[in-house]
Amino acid sequence: MHPDISSLVDTRNGTLDPRIFVDEEIYKLELKNVFARSWLFLAHDSQLAKPGEYITTFMGEDPVIVARQKDGSVAAFMNQCRHRGMRLCRADLGKTKNFSCTYHGWTYDLGGRLVNVPSEDDAYRNGIDKAEWGAIKVTQLATYKGFIFGNWDPTAPPLTEYLGDFTWYFDAFVDRCEGGLEVIGGSHKWVFPANWKFAAEQFCSDMYHVPISHASAALALAPDDMEADAEIFPLDGTLGRQFTSPWGHGTGFFTESGDVLGLIVGREPGEWFQGGNPEVVDRLGTHRALNMRGMHATIFPNFSFLPGINTMRVWHPKGPNEMEVWAWTVVDSSAPPEVRERLRIGNLRTFSAGGMLEQDDGENWSEIQQVLRGHVARQTPLNAQMGLGLDWDDDPNFPGRVNRVYCETAARGFYGRWAQMLSGASWDELAVTPPLESVRQS
Ligand code: FES
Ligand SMILES: [Fe+2]
């Protein structure tokens, strides 16, 4: 039996039960009630630009194929043959006319329809109704500004409603120029021995670790003429904001800072992001164009990004004790070649499997997972109280519920939403019950 769900996350007091990171029963429930009901990022349009191009990915632990159709639309379906359940496609990506199962040869078209069964007349003498045995389609599919999301739950609200009040912040990343973002290069994938929520929560809510965990990387990365000091990572939490959405999404950023992007990914991409792209102020206004620096963000549950550094990743769950990280570098489609190249190299150096800052983060997550092997450690509540009860909703520059940048408002929002979904609450109940409602103090 899993522990009482209602006691796992206490947003009123800001505490977390560590079993949410290690318990097998909770993990199974998480796949069912969180991953099979949430809008999950599948692919970016630029990854399957032409008809026949496809990628394979996961929704929770369910493998799916996302393919560009002949008419330009996108289809997504289970990467599972209906005969004996073999993985239909074992490539990461490619271009094809159809998907042929390597076990007995059942063949599906780009939309997942079963179109050929070997020896159909001879072997299936009574006939087989191929129309009934197509691959299982992802129930809901939607695209927002080039980002393709899927959802297994027919009762889930539309994607635009799910993105909700986070949309204004998401646009600061994805709508900076005509044509939006595009993915450059391939993907980086690595398996990591920690629960996926440590990573998703950190990108949602944790600027607090940056000056400490990344101090040595910052010193090593700083160009000779730049001092990696408190001006770059301000220690004054009033010089930034953290935002939480009732849908579980969150972000944080400095409003004033030194050249934090220049330090991490290099001066050219840093300057391009903060004022160098002439369209941005017109499209987004001053605050979003210039005063959201060193931003981190997570779209609930497991899609995260760092605007400016321009890494984007999905934390695929692989059991309670393991995740598989899939990371991409994205860039404004109007960015010049030197900015693209500097971003590509900057991300390799900082946020990739061998990246300096990635390793700082990963060490923390995997060490926690090791500590939680202990019987007593698993029963010791964790503290998520930073800024508790001190949020505000009327910031003149930043909409929605916000707090100072060093805060755990978005972590409480993330885990509060996770616990609500885990409990199996219907979408009707979820839509009207923001997870932080009981925490708000005026
Ligand atoms: S499992 Fe795919 S054809 Fe048999
Ligand atoms: Fe970090």
CATH number at residue 104: 2.102.10.10
Instruction: For residue 31, tell me if it sits in a domain.
Output: no
Average pLDDT, rounded, for the chain? 93
Clarify whether residues 65 and 100 are in a common domain: yes
Clarify whether residues 404 and 333 are in a common domain: yes
Instruction: For residue 391, tell me if it sits in a domain.
Output: yes
Of the three residues 96, 112, 143, the one that is the final residue of a domain is 143
CATH number for the domain harbouring residue 380: 3.90.380.10
> CB of 103 closer than 6 A to ligand 1?
yes
CA distance 293 to 316: 27
Question: Which residues on adjacent β-strands are paired with residue 9?
Answer: 16
Q: How confident is the model at residue 350 (pLDDT cuts 50, 70, 90)?
A: very high
pLDDT surpasses 50 at 316: yes
Q: How confident is the model at residue 20 (pLDDT cuts 50, 70, 90)?
A: very high
Instruction: For residue 34, tell me if it sits in a domain.
Output: no
Residue of 206, 259, 332, 391 marked catalytic: 206
Residue nearest to atom 3 of ligand 1 (CA): 104
CA distance 354 to 357: 9
pLDDT tens profile 369-398: 999 999 999 999 999 999 999 999 999 999
Q: Give the count of domains, the chain.
A: 2
Ligand in closest contact with the CA of 296: 2
Residue of 109, 360, 361, 391 marked catalytic: 361
pLDDT surpasses 70 at 436: no
Clarify whether residues 63 and 185 are in a common domain: no
Compute, in angstroms, the gap from residue 2 CA to the centroid of ligand 2: 31
Whole-number pLDDT of residue 237: 84
Neighbours of 250 (CB within 10 A): 33
pLDDT tens profile 123-167: 999 889 999 999 999 999 999 999 999 999 999 999 999 999 999
pLDDT surpasses 90 at 25: yes
Instruction: For residue 256, tell me if it sits in a domain.
Output: yes
Clarify whether residues 291 and 231 are in a common domain: yes
Whole-number pLDDT of residue 228: 63
Compute, in angstroms, the gap from residue 100 CA to the centroid of ligand 1: 9
Clarify whether residues 335 and 376 are in a common domain: yes
Clarify whether residues 136 and 266 are in a common domain: no
Clarify whether residues 303 and 383 are in a common domain: yes
Whole-number pLDDT of residue 230: 56
Clarify whether residues 95 and 208 are in a common domain: no
Clarify whether residues 170 and 133 are in a common domain: no
pLDDT surpasses 50 at 222: yes
Instruction: For residue 290, tell me if it sits in a domain.
Output: yes
Of the three residues 143, 177, 192, the one that is the final residue of a domain is 143
pLDDT surpasses 60 at 333: yes
Q: What sign has the CA pseudo-torsion 92, 179, 336, 227?
A: negative
Coil/strand/helix, residue 248: coil
Clarify whether residues 222 and 353 are in a common domain: yes
Clarify whether residues 123 and 178 are in a common domain: no
Average pLDDT over residues 265-273: 88
Q: What is the identity of the amino acid at 32? A: K
> CB of 118 closer than 6 A to ligand 1?
no
Q: How confident is the model at residue 268 (pLDDT cuts 50, 70, 90)?
A: confident
Neighbours of 305 (CB within 10 A): 25
Whether 361 is a known active-site residue: answer yes
Element (H, E) at 319: none
pLDDT surpasses 60 at 326: yes
Average pLDDT over residues 400-419: 97
pLDDT tens profile 419-431: 999 999 999 998 8
Instruction: For residue 32, tell me if it sits in a domain.
Output: no
* Full residue range of the structural domain in which residue 259 is found: 10-23+165-432
Q: Of 207, 214, 404, 440, which Cα lies nearest the Cα of 306? A: 207
Whole-number pLDDT of residue 191: 97
Cα 146 to chain centroid, rounded: 15
Instruction: For residue 160, tell me if it sits in a domain.
Output: no
Q: Of 112, 116, 120, 115, which Cα lies nearest the Cα of 89? A: 112
Whole-number pLDDT of residue 441: 42
DSSP labels for 103-134? TT--EEETTS-EEE-TTHHHH-TT---GGGSP
pLDDT tens profile 164-209: 999 999 999 999 999 999 999 899 999 999 999 999 999 999 999 9
pLDDT tens profile 276-308: 888 999 999 988 999 999 999 999 999 999 999
**What is the pTM assigned to this prediction?**
0.96
333, 340 in Cβ contact below 8 A? Answer: no
Clarify whether residues 259 and 112 are in a common domain: no
Instruction: For residue 420, tell me if it sits in a domain.
Output: yes
Whole-number pLDDT of residue 432: 66
pLDDT tens profile 30-50: 999 999 999 999 999 999 999
Whole-number pLDDT of residue 235: 81
Buried b (16+ CB within 10 A) or exposed e, 40-49: bbbbbbbbbe
